[in-house]
Structure 1
Amino acid sequence: MTIHAAKIKKTIIKRSNLEELKAKKSLYSVMLVVLFSSAGIALPYPILAPIFLNEISPLTTFYDLPSKILLGIILAIYPLGVILGSSVLGAASGIYGRKKTLIITLVLTSISYVLSALAVISESFLLLILARFLTGVFSGNISIAKAVAVDLSPTLDKTYTFNLVNATGYLGWLLGPLAGGLLAVYGLETVFYFAAVAIIIALISVACLLHADAINPTISKIKFSQLFSKQNSFALLSNDKIRRIFIIYLLATLGLNAYYEFYPVWLVEKFDFNSPDIGYITVVLTLFMTITSVFFVKKLKYLLGLKFGAIVGMLLMAALFSLHPLLTENNVWPIYAITGIAIAIFNGLLPVYISEQYSDIEQGQLMGLITTTFSVANVLMALIGSLLALFGAHWAILFGAVLLIIASVDFHFSQEDIR
């Protein structure tokens, strides 16, 4: 009897180990997707600001519009595409399968990067706008990667998987600007070609490592057109509680994007940074984001709780953003390192709070809403911030600090502590 029980226990342990190994392979595959997708997104950022502020070409003088306005349009069009893509791709992955949807979108993302390179070669501003929009649409598949990470719970801890995916994204933001800065001497088109190759590598990893998920026959019969009408992530906003947390997350990400999008412009204005300089300081920023996400966010969750920890992250970001008018070329580096820590705390705890609070909702659709919200904030801040930047890029960053304070206060008084 004891021997029989031991065999059963051994079988259960073996099965558990196999499930954990399978889950880790899936996690590693989507981490590679997030790594190369984030790197591809960030690759052109260190190059765009110097090009539009310092160079004269058909790209930077389109219709004789101010170069900062043109830069704002370029920055806004990509997340505008992500809004459309992530609002339906997360839900689509829950209907047609995560792996299948991810593979299709990765193929189309790679093609879109090639189209961006061709637009730069032909110096066509309109073609570049179209290409960046399409790239954004298909890059909305990051919401699928996050949904996969959440799906692996309880086999793997949700906070652990989500923050590993976040850390991989930060690493992409670290490597992307660095590679972009180094590749700048070869031209912007080379940067886009490089991004296309990176996406192909991610595609191979998904095809080989991500296990095919079971598809619900009833759900799979939903028509594709319904993704845009009834099954998109915005449909979740009919829930009053989700709508409230959506507003909070939107305000917070508006504040974060004010920094993300205009610190390169501020660095050019304030210290005359070039592309490699922006790449190096972005490395410092994202390196501390990565370290914090991997080693400290999970501990902060247990120490502070999801709610209070997220508030700490928001208020710390607001304080650091407010320091920009006082920064010098020497102290900007350590301040940006601390800023990376604050961003990692916010990004690592608030989305997990939302996932835990609304665990009964299909996570692909919910992660789609989170990604879409961030992209809505990206678009709005690219447009609003570009107007504020006409008076100085620091005004856009200070505006972001104000929004973060408002978001943290609303979050404190309106949301439950689910410690």
Structure 2
Amino acid sequence: MQRQQAINALLTMMLVVLLSCAGIALPYPILAPLFLNEVSPLTTFGGIHPKLLLGMLLAVYPLGVLIGSSVIGAASDVYGRKKVLIISLFGSMLGYLLSAYALVSEHYPLFVITRIFTGLCEGNISIAKAVAIDLSKTLDKTRSFSLINATTYAGWLIGPLAGGFLQPFGAEIVFYVAACSLALACLCVFLFLNHEPTKTNNEKFSWYQLIVQKNSLGLLKVPSIKRLFIVYLLVTLGLNAFYSFYPVWLVERFNFNSPDIGTITALLTTFMVATSALFVTPFKRKFGMLRGVYIGLFGLACLLFSHPTFSALTVWLGYASIGVAIALFNGLLPIYISEQHQNEHQGRLMGLLTTGFSISNVTMALLGSFIAIYGSIWAIMLGGTLILLAMMTLFYITKIKPI
């Protein structure tokens, strides 16, 4: 019965992650073509260069995630996974509805505000990963984590593909559909999630104390966590340099439109899903946790540096390979960090990793938008350089001082 309950909790979180990530990813393929190819009060606000307007939009959403995820993961340790998930999913749904209204009214400042608000509520992925780790006494941790990652990638497959093909009906339709997917995810949590961690935090805090004193960033006071966080931050900086600007690069290099971007993103994420679901666990058994991380990181760096050589044909093969590399290290590095700090509350720890991803997303959206004015390829090259730097840093800290 205990194993069946654990399986039910994992399946519920997989469904929630699938719907949530699909909702997050739905608008993704519409933004670059919208700001690069269309002229409207939204895309010409204040006489600012459209690439800078796009960069600000790409930055404010993860800025909201940064603030929210530093608290939401820790809050789930204190107030329970289910309650915090329902609140965050409902807030996300409301944010997408307001974003649709901002698009219809072509109001850029309101669009920015609604994207920040939506990001504030998007800490549910860190909770899902914490649930997978909670279940490790009953289910294999690497396998559970890989399945959560697989459904994350599946959401990123379905979302951009649907968004690209919904865009001709109006950009606001994409945000309405995203809101519906979040509403369904919220209902699933309410009906089916009955899991709470066996190790609970019995201390109770006010929301003010939770935000100021007990947020995930407080874990950086632990030296070993701080060192690994630096590695994770470098990895996600490089990854977000790619994520944020490959649609721009595809538009500039091959004149891709929204359906094209949606299709190649679907290809990328299909290989991420397959690799995570089928190959990460046996890959870890064959090569080991840390060596597997190195292989994935090195493969991604080489593929990012290969972008100038891609043709209209080979870019499809290249992006399939990128999906494999991302799934390999992304399925192993967070598990490695978790296993090094098993005594920490895992909601708070996974919240810290989500916060790191958000910091890198904001940084790359802003820095990369300036770099992209001179050519988006340079933002992608910067990504490859940062991935290599992360590899060297991880090698250094694991060789110099055990963690």
Provide the rounded CA distance (Å) in 2 between the counterparts of 1:189 and 1:156.
Answer: 41
Q: How far 1:216 sits from its partner (Å)? A: 8.1
1:4 paired residue number? none
Q: Which of the residues 151, 170, 186 maps onto 2:169?
A: 186
Specify which of 268, 277, 280 is matched with residue 285 of structure 1: 268
Residue 24 of structure 1 corresponds to which residue in structure 2? Answer: 7
Offset at residue 221 of structure 1 (A)? 2.1
State the partner residue of 2:324.
341
| Equivalent residue in structure 1 for 2:335, among 352, 356, 366 | 352
Alpha-carbon distance in structure 1 between the residues aligned to 2:175 and 2:70: 25
Tell me if the contact between 1:39 and 1:174 (Cα under 8 Å) persists in the aligned partners: yes
Query: Which residue does 1:243 correspond to in 2?
Result: 226
Aligned mates of 2:132, 2:181 — CA distance in 1: 21
Q: Which amino acid aligns with 1:70?
A: L
Aligned to 1:153, the other structure's residue is in SS state helix
> Structure 1 pair 218/82, CA: closer, same or farther in 2 (3 Å)?
closer
Counterpart of 2:89 in structure 1 is 106
Which residue of the partner structure matches residue 111 of structure 2? 128
Could you tell me how far 1:219 is from its partner in structure 2?
Answer: 3.0
Matches of 1:64 and 1:279, distance apart in 2: 29
CA distance in 2, matches of 1:216, 1:370: 20
Q: Distance in 1 between matches of 2:362 and 2:200?
A: 37
SS at match of 1:261: helix
Map residues 146-225 of structure 1 onto 2, 5 A cutoff.
146-213=129-196, 219-225=202-208
- Give the SS at the match of 2:40: coil
Give per-residue Cα distances to partners, 1:336-391, cap 9 Å, x unaligned: 10110000001101011001111110000000001110111100000111111011
Question: Who is 2:78 aligned against?
Answer: 95
Q: Is residue 315 of structure 2 the alignment partner of residue 361 of structure 1?
A: no
Q: Distance in 1 between matches of 2:70 and 2:264?
A: 32
Q: Assess if the C-alpha contact under 8 Å between 1:85 and 1:139 holds in 2.
A: yes
Match of 1:294 among 273, 277, 285: 277
Deviations 1:55-108, CA, capped at 9 Å, x for gaps: 011111111100000000111111000001110000000000001111111111
Q: What's 1:310 paired with?
A: 293
Matched residue, 2:256:
273
Instruction: Tell me the residue number matched to 1:330.
Output: 313
Corresponding position of 1:8: none
Alpha-carbon distance, 1:302 to partner: 1.2
Cα distance in 2 for partners of 1:218, 1:147 equals: 14
Please say if residues 177 and 282 of structure 1, whose CA atoms lie closer than 8 Å, have aligned partners that are also in contact: yes
Partner Cα separation in structure 2 for residue 137 and residue 306 of structure 1 = 32
RMSD of aligned Cα (Å): 1.6
Secondary structure (helix, strand or coil) at the match of 2:39 reads coil
CA–CA distance in 2 between the matches of 1:340 and 1:216?
35
Paired residue type of 1:107: F
Segments of 5+ residues of structure 1 without an aligned counterpart are 1-17
Structure 1 residues 91 and 392: CA distance shift in structure 2, 3 A: same
2:257, 2:166 → 1: CA distance?
A: 13
Amino acid at match of 2:171: L
The 8 Å contact of residues 97 and 215 in structure 1, kept in 2 or not, is answered as no
Deviation at 1:42, TM superposition (A): 1.2
State the distance in 2 between where 1:134 and 1:149 align.
27
- Per the TM alignment, residue 140 of structure 1 is displaced from its structure 2 partner at its CA by 1.5
Read off the aligned partner of 1:310 and give its amino acid letter. Answer: V
| Bigger-Rg structure (1/2) | 1
The 2-side partners of 1:60 and 1:280 are apart by 24
Task: Give TM-score scaled by structure 1 length.
Answer: 0.94
- The answer on whether the counterparts of 1:357 and 1:418 sit within 8 Å (CA) in structure 2 is no
1:84 correspondence with 2:64: no
Aligned mates of 1:214, 1:246 — CA distance in 2: 24
Structure 2 letter corresponding to 1:77: V
Q: Measure, in 2, the Cα distance between the counterparts of 1:403 and 1:46.
A: 25
Tell me which residue corresponds to 1:372: 355
1:386-414 per-residue CA deviation (whole Å, 9 max, x = no partner) reads: 11101111000000000000100110121
SS at match of 2:253: helix
Q: Secondary structure at the match of 2:137?
A: coil
Percent same amino acid among aligned pairs? Answer: 53
CA spacing shift, 1:38–1:345, aligned 2, 3 Å: same
The amino acid of 1:80's aligned partner reads: L
- Gaps of at least 5 residues in structure 2 are none
The structural deviation recorded for 1:213 is: 2.4
Match of 2:373 among 372, 378, 390: 390
Q: Across the two proteins, how many residue pairs are aligned to each other?
A: 402
Q: 1:44 aligns with which of 27, 32, 35?
A: 27
Instruction: Measure the CA separation in 2 of the matches of 1:269 and 1:134.
Output: 31
